[in-house]
Structure 1
Amino acid sequence: MAFGVCTSALAAQRASPLHGAYLHVDDVADSGTYYIYRYRVVNAPDSRGGLAMFSVDVSAPRGTGFATLPATGGFDHGAGYPQVDLTRFKDHVQVGPISPPNWRAILGRGATLAWYGDHGGFEGDIDSIAPGDSLSGVALRSPYLLGIRRSWGVPTFKSCCTEPRPATASREAEHPQSSEFELESWTVGPSAHPGGLNLTIIRADLQQVCGALRWIADGAVCGPLQATLARAAAAAQRGDRSAATDALRGFVDALDAQHGPGKPVNDNAYWLLKVNGEYLLTHM
């Protein structure tokens, strides 16, 4: 799933050099106390510049708080500094970033967890992801279950912003900011589910996965998966726990059968639906 169209006013005149970037879920593992989300970040081959920063939404409903887990690598947590005004911060799920060498994580007021190159160069011009290249070793820890999350990518300064805007009567010539060329997409990340995870949420996620996200693009696979979840929901509604469990187990088994190289269920869809489905199997 590529990042969407850049929507800044400047972008109406100059397109983002990023033609596609992916925060791709490679694996989600249960440590017993929290989940470990492992990602691979990919810059599309037809991009015209490096990917300098990428981020994922980790916001949560008001009242959730600002707790974190231990981080691996450099980490700046805005809400964790003494005497900050927490009313200016959005609550976030509990999270602990894991960063590869020469990359650093930051979690600021807007509850987006971002990684950026912190070793040499300006705006990621040295530590960045080149077109057609990828970065592994990016991960996070969180006790929260999976959900569909927004993500963003920002290009290097060199690839977008070395040409200044012309001066006008009201301002001097100035360079644009790399963030003006950020592109938005969707990934999987830790999410708050008020009221608890249930079959209604999993069915809604599957609808998005088979619809606009196209993480499962084959309708011949989506149809049976949706029908199986519908049977599970109907059984649960009439209080038939055994039938609901059997249907949900069949759903998870079908995901396993349709996931892998050359198969229609991509990694984002697989981990989202499998982990949440297995969680419900043990809590029905």
Structure 2
Amino acid sequence: MILIADSGASKTDWRLITKEKEISQFRGIGFNPNYQTSEEMAQELQVDFLMNLSEEVEIIYYYGAGCTSHKNRQQVEAALRSIFKRAAIVVDHDLMAAARATCGSRAGIACILGTGSNSCDYDGELIIAKRPAPGYILGDEGGGAYIGKRFLADFIHEEMPKKIRDLVLEKFQLDNAQIIEHVYQRPFPGRYMASFCRFITEHKHEPYCYMLYYQAFVEFFKKHIMKYDDYKKKPANFVGSIAFYNSDILRSAAYDHDIHVNLILEGPISGLALYHQQLL
């Protein structure tokens, strides 16, 4: 049996492929070794779907946010090893997941626009270039945390349209103290800030909400795609809920900046399942 995981800051999608090529799935909490210890991740992994497979899985392919460094990959492997003691475990970065799921064996630019953001230039087999991804405080342009941060800052400074502000107050009963507590005192502030993107998407027909996305996507293009060699000649592919549910705005912003958008997927897990089926 092969177990595949695609993990971001907010959720993890799991696919189990049997030798008969039957596929089952499960969605659980997200992980990031930049913010969690092996012990914390191991605790969160103790769910029935995974525990029931502990003796059957032969190999695990885990693709995750924050898995760039050797140290972080070791942390994730140790957490998985606490349950899957006999399986071979391969931990890779979520960028490779995006590249394999959207490009397959073809060259292209693979991008992630979910809670966070990232990108790479892929030659059909290897990642040949990538841009820095310093996280929600110093980066994540175009991602949910970045957009939510701007949205909450506008709320605090009363710089959003009154109509939108009134809707926010009605839906969330939001106040400045609550925002400060969630962002500076509670765990996973990135998830909290990104959680407001559902509301922003629901109201993207409003110019203010539309432009939050449009401007964030342009910032992403400038920090990422436009810094790759010959970017105008390469298809740009995207995975992530922010890209998927706002694909109309993303494509419009890309067209305005001479960027060719190819695939936009909500998540890479289905593409990864197809990619790894050949190993059975």
TM-score range, shorter chain: under 0.3
TM-score, normalization by structure 1: 0.21
Structure that is richer in helix per residue: 2
Structure that is richer in strand per residue: 1
TM-score, normalization by structure 2: 0.21
